[in-house]
Amino acid sequence: MSQQSDLISSLRLFEKDFQLDKSYLNLEEQQGIAYNQAFLMIMRVVEDLMTKDFNRLINVLYRIDVSEDRLKEALALSNDNPASVITKMILDRQLQKVETRKKYSS
């Protein structure tokens, strides 16, 4: 599988984990996707949840197994916007899940 299909798979997991309507990210219409595009798609949702439903964001981060300790450390060490740091951790975790599923499905 290519990196682009891994990104699409990780975005599908993201949709499922965050209980988004399938039309929200329009993944069926995506021919190819770059890491930066996937990052921005996720960040839009993270920013929205940070302002409107922070508890839901925290619950989903726990459910998808984003390490609370690593997240706190990353937020403390980074000068980036917190939504950007959280987005990177989500995308990295989803890509790890895709890799693990590929490894054990063959």
Each residue of 27-86: pLDDT tens digit?
887 777 889 999 999 999 999 999 999 999 999 999 999 988 999 999 999 999 999 999
What is the per-residue pLDDT for 1? 43
Residue count of the chain: 106
What is the per-residue pLDDT for 24? 84
What is the per-residue pLDDT for 33? 86
What is the per-residue pLDDT for 86? 96
Q: What per-residue string of b and e applies to 37-50 under the rule 16 or more CB within 10 Å gives b? A: ebbebbbebbbebe
Cα separation, 9 vs 15, in Å, equals 10
What is the per-residue pLDDT for 2? 67
pTM: 0.89
